[in-house]
Amino acid sequence: MNLMSLCLSFPVTGNPAEVLELIEHPLLELTGHEVRVRMRYAPINPADLNFIEGNYGRVSHPPAIPGHEGCGEVESVGPLVTSLEKGDVVIPLLSSGCWSQHLTAAEYHFAKLPCSIDLVQGSMLRINPVTAWHLLNKHVDLDPGDWFAQNAANSGVGRALIQIAKQKGLRTINFVRRAALIPELLELGADAVFLDDENGVAQAKALLAKTPLKITANAVGGDSAIHLMDLLSPDGMMVTYGAMSRRSLKVPNKFLIFKNLRLHGLWITQWFEQASSAELYEVLEPLAKMIIHHDLFTAVDEVIPLQDHRRAMQRAQEGGRKGKVILDLA
C-alpha cells in the first residue's frame, strides 16, 4: 500500500484563493536516480500567483502543482543516487511543484545547501537573490565603488540586490513609490533612495554628477523605466526582469540615437534551465554563505500552514505586507 502526501493543486486557472485545492497524492517507490525530499517551507511569489491565474510567461496546464521555489530535507534516495543522501538540506531546481509535502525528482533537480542554513530563508534563495546576483555579475563589469541603479527597490529582488551590492563594495541608487520606504532601505544598506518621479531623477543625477552609470535594473516598465534610461551613461545597459506596472516598455528615440543604450531581458527561470552545475555552484554557494552569516536576509510577513492556504493566498495578494508569505508544508 502506497503512502500518501498532501499538495496544493489547481484544476483550472483563476484566483489562487479560489481555485487551489488541497489534495492527496501517492508516494511511489523510488527508482534509479530519483530523490524524495520532505519539503518544509515555500514562499508565495508573484510568479506563483501569475502561474495559477494563467498570466505567467509559461503556460500552465491544469491540473498542476504550483510553487517555483522551496526548501526541504532529503527523506530517501534511489539506488543509483550519488550526489545526495538522507538528511541533506536541498532546494528544488524545478520550475514548479514546490507546494507539496513531498517532491520526487532526479537528483540533478536539487541543489544541496549547508545544513546550518535557516530553512525559511533557504526556501527563498532560488529566485530573488539569484536574480539580484545575476544582475550584478553577468551583464557588465563592475568594480568596487561603481554605481548601480534600480526601481522597485523595496521588492524581494531589490532588497537582495542592495545587500549583495554592499558585500561587493558597489553603491546603489534605489527608486521607490512611497517615502515611508526610504529609511528602512537606507538601514538595509542602500546608498541612496529617491522617490520614483522627476524630482527623484533630478536628485539622482545630482548625486552621480559626472560619475558613470553603466547598468540599471528595471522591474516596473512605463515611466519608471524611462527614469532609469535617463540616468544611464552612453553605452549603458538596462536589464528588465519584471513588469509590475503592467505598462509596456517605451524607449525615447534620443536614448537609442544619442546614448546608444542597450536593452536586455532576464528571466531567471530560463537561466536555471540552461545553467551548468558549475554555474549553479558559483551562484548558490556565496549566497548561502551570506544567509548563514546574516549578510543576506529576506523579510517574512507570516508563515501560514499549508491547510490554511486560502488565507495565505489572500494575504500574499494584499498590499502593506512586511515581507514574504511562507507556506509551512509540515
Could you tell me which residues are beta bridge partners of residue 105?
Answer: 35
By CB atoms closer than 10 A (0-12, 13-18, 19+), residue 197 is middle
Is 56 in the active site? yes
The Cα 227–Cα 190 span in angstroms is 18
Cell of 112: 544541496
By CB atoms closer than 10 A (0-12, 13-18, 19+), residue 234 is exposed
SS3 assignment, position 244 = coil
The Cα 251–Cα 238 span in angstroms is 11
The Cα 235–Cα 41 span in angstroms is 42
The Cα 98–Cα 279 span in angstroms is 22
Catalytic residue among 56, 108, 241, 281: 56
CA angle 239, 178, 311 (to 5 degrees): 90
SS3 assignment, position 154 = coil
Question: Catalytic residues, which ones?
Answer: 56
